Amino acid sequence: MFLEESLPPNSRPLQQHLFHLLHNRCVSIKHLAQIHAHIIINGFTHKNFLLVKLLALYTTSNNFPIAHLLFDQTPSPSSALWNQIIRGYQLTGSPRRSVELFNDMGRRSSPPPDEHTYTFVVNGCAKGGLLGEGMQVHGKVLKSGFSSNLYVQSSLVDFYVKNGGGGVVKANKVFDEMYVRSIVTWNSLLLGSFRCGDVNGAMTIFEDMPERNVVSWTTMIAGCAQNGRSKEALALFREMQRENVEFDQVTLVAVLSACAELGDLHLGKWIHSYVFEHFTYSKKPVLVTLKNSLIHMYASCGEIGAAFAVFKGMEQKTAISWTSMITGFAKHGYGNEALSVFEWMQNARSRDARPDEITFLGVLCACSHAGYVDKGRHYFKSMVEDWGIKPRVEHFGCMVDLLSRAGLLDEAHEVVRSMPMKPNDVVWGALLGGCRIHKSVELASDVTELLTEGLEADRAAGYFVLLSNVYAAAEKWEDVVAVRRKMLEGKTRKPPGRSWIQIEGSVYEFMAGDRSHEMACLIYDVLDDITREARFYGNIPFCAYASLLSQIDG
């Protein structure tokens, strides 16, 4: 047997031996049960150091019924034992139970909660999104005299950052009261600023930090990338490299997100090479999220073949892997390839290969770009009936786009009318786009009137321009003029287009009508040459339209 061969004969050595076995030799529930039995048989159920370790092993192995029975059978559990079971529930997905136990502890006269108790229960509230409970615990912290404890304060900052209720304002208040601030607390506050969209505030915090670690840099890079400031994200990564801060795979995931946004293929390829040399080649495990980010980066930069190569080379694929590949093919017009990957995904019959609502967005997008109307109808129906996925407004938008592109405007309009939720401007815009393609003037007028009601001027402008293009395609020039005049009278102006281009490793940003670039004169000369060539080959279809517009805009 596991124990009986070498048990010391007297009490103290036996206790030490059992603790040693719990600490180093307990490799299964069977072994744990044997040790537990010997603790009971030898009358050690009052030995706190044994019970705490025993309880910790039961909770980490998710044997909560036995753990709770052990706890309940202890006549006077110590603070350490209370802390262990509260921590166990908090760590293993039952944070509400940890709060209930904390309240039970508070109703007893002894022992009182200590700094570990408050830290564990506040962490549980943060993890479980228990805003009200967490704020009540904060009140008890203030009464108990632990409000100046570093660990408790750090937990409270993290709790408010993750759960709102005044969010960063309350987190900042706790932070300002701290005499000692760990880098973990600084990082929590940094994350909180990004979560409420305060990028400038996050940058101020980052600059004020007395020290920064890889988590600080990664939070900044990811936060900038997720808030539309990818250029700053890449600048931060270059600064991180200059300061010789060792980055990890999570950092690279954030950087690849910025590369995908900006189309920075040069840096994306460098990261891929780095991953191959430092991880794949040396047989170190590479995060699946990093491989997924490489797929997304390559697909966003137009290198769909490279994206597929990464995908095929993955031993483990998650739903995000499959979805990224399907969406990548769909956006590049490879409808057959996208649907083939989707069929492959279904045939994999793995829990990690179960399609979700985002997967079906990619599938419907592929059908739309490829013009597969019947397949689009089939997959939309399958999503509901076979997979139990409730369509969102985006799924309806894909179906409207698919039907509108195919000229089935009446059916597309019926889909809009039958939607269980209010159509958004993207859905109406898809129908309006179909009207432009198929020159359905009357429906386009009705759609634009519905679409622009209540929209801000800048958002409505693009749809007015689209309507004027519908009229122009049908050579209804007076209606074109009327739309443009309405835009001018309402001071509705389409926001200027924005684009990026990468040349020799540098990313350049341009806006429509922008002449700030140092080579603007040369750039516009080339554009004029292209326009003249296009006009020569008859590719300026609305010359009369342009003449009329010049009269209005002038």
Ramachandran assignment for 399, one of left (phi > 0), alpha (psi -120 to 50 degrees), beta (any other):
alpha
More confident residue, 394 or 176: 394
DSSP-assigned letter for residue 112: P
**pLDDT computed for residue 341 by the predictor:** 94
Asked if 370 and 333 touch (Cβ cutoff 8 Å), the reply is yes
Residue 288: CB atoms within 10 A of its CB come to 16
Place of tokens 């048989």: 41
**pLDDT computed for residue 486 by the predictor:** 63
Q: What is the pLDDT of residues 245-289, one digit of tens each?
A: 999 999 999 999 999 998 899 999 999 999 988 876 667 889 999
Q: What is the mean pLDDT of the chain?
A: 81
Q: How far is CA 256 from CA 234, 273, 289, in A?
A: 9, 13, 11
Q: How far is CA 317 from CA 251, 300, 355, in A?
A: 21, 19, 12
Indicate whether 297 pLDDT > 80: yes
Calpha distance 321→57 (Å, rounded): 35
Indicate whether 368 pLDDT > 70: yes
Mean pLDDT of 438-459: 63
Ramachandran assignment for 514, one of left (phi > 0), alpha (psi -120 to 50 degrees), beta (any other):
beta
Least Cα distance to 441 among 411, 466, 423, 412 occurs for 466
**pLDDT computed for residue 548 by the predictor:** 39
**pLDDT computed for residue 551 by the predictor:** 40
Instruction: Show the tokens assigned to 255.
Output: 């950087």
Question: For the ranges 63-67, 403-407, 510-514, 523-527, which has the lowest average pLDDT?
Answer: 510-514
Q: What is the pLDDT of residues 204-231, one digit of tens each?
A: 999 999 999 999 999 999 999 999 899 9
pTM: 0.74
Question: For the ranges 240-249, 318-327, 432-441, 469-478, which has the lowest average pLDDT?
Answer: 469-478
Name the pLDDT band for 436 (thresholds 50, 70, 90).
confident
3-state SS assignment for residue 373: helix
Ranges 5-19, 41-55, 246-260, most confident: 246-260
Least Cα distance to 330 among 304, 354, 365 occurs for 365
Q: What whole-number percentage of the chain has pLDDT above 70?
A: 80
Full DSSP string of 56-87: HHHHHTT-HHHHHHHHHT-SS--HHHHHHHHH
Place of tokens 């010049």: 550
Calpha distance 493→459 (Å, rounded): 9
Residue 336 CB contacts under 8 Å (≥ 6 apart), including other chains = 370
Name the pLDDT band for 1 (thresholds 50, 70, 90).
very low
Q: What are phi and psi of 499, to 5 degrees?
A: -145, 160
Ranges 55-59, 72-76, 285-289, 472-476, most confident: 285-289
Ranges 79-88, 152-161, 334-343, most confident: 334-343
**pLDDT computed for residue 142 by the predictor:** 87
Name the pLDDT band for 372 (thresholds 50, 70, 90).
very high
More confident residue, 462 or 416: 416
Mean pLDDT of 362-391: 92
More confident residue, 519 or 373: 373
Residue type, 495: P
Indicate whether 20 pLDDT > 50: yes
Residue type, 198: D
Cis peptide, bond prior to residue 113, ω within 30 of zero = no
Question: For the ranges 288-297, 490-499, 506-515, which has the lowest average pLDDT?
Answer: 490-499
Instruction: Show the tokens assigned to 336.
Output: 């057959």
Name the pLDDT band for 8 (thresholds 50, 70, 90).
low
Long-range contacts of 97-106, Cβ-Cβ distance < 8 Å, separation of 24 or more: 98/124, 99/124, 99/125, 99/130, 99/133, 99/137, 102/137, 106/140
Q: Give the side-chain half-sphere CA count within 13 A for 533.
A: 6
Ramachandran assignment for 14, one of left (phi > 0), alpha (psi -120 to 50 degrees), beta (any other):
alpha
Indicate whether 545 pLDDT > 50: no
Rg (the chain; Cα; Å): 31
Calpha distance 442→431 (Å, rounded): 12
3-state SS assignment for residue 16: helix
Q: Name the strand (E) or helix (H) holding 138.
A: helix 131-144
Asked if 190 and 220 touch (Cβ cutoff 8 Å), the reply is yes
> What is the sign of the dihedral through the CA atoms of 400, 403, 406 and 408?
negative
As a dihedral over the C-alpha atoms of residue 389, residue 196, residue 422, residue 424, rounded to 10 degrees, the angle is -100
Q: How far is CA 158 from CA 171, 293, 322, in A?
A: 7, 27, 34
Indicate whether 543 pLDDT > 70: no
Mean pLDDT of 436-441: 74
**pLDDT computed for residue 107 by the predictor:** 82
Long-range contacts of 310-316, Cβ-Cβ distance < 8 Å, separation of 24 or more: 310/272, 314/288, 316/288, 316/352
Calpha distance 154→275 (Å, rounded): 34
Residue 522: CB atoms within 10 A of its CB come to 10
**pLDDT computed for residue 426 by the predictor:** 80
Indicate whether 451 pLDDT > 60: no
**pLDDT computed for residue 526 by the predictor:** 84
Residue type, 425: D
Name the pLDDT band for 437 (thresholds 50, 70, 90).
confident
Indicate whether 306 pLDDT > 90: yes
Q: How far is CA 70 from CA 75, 76, 109, 111, in A?
A: 10, 12, 21, 18
Name the pLDDT band for 110 (thresholds 50, 70, 90).
confident
3-state SS assignment for residue 503: strand
Q: What whole-number percentage of the chain has pLDDT above 90?
A: 32
Inter-axis angle of helices 425-438 and 441-452, nearest 10: 160
Q: Give the side-chain half-sphere CA count within 13 A for 64.
A: 13
Indicate whether 45 pLDDT > 90: no
Indicate whether 19 pLDDT > 80: no
**pLDDT computed for residue 98 by the predictor:** 87
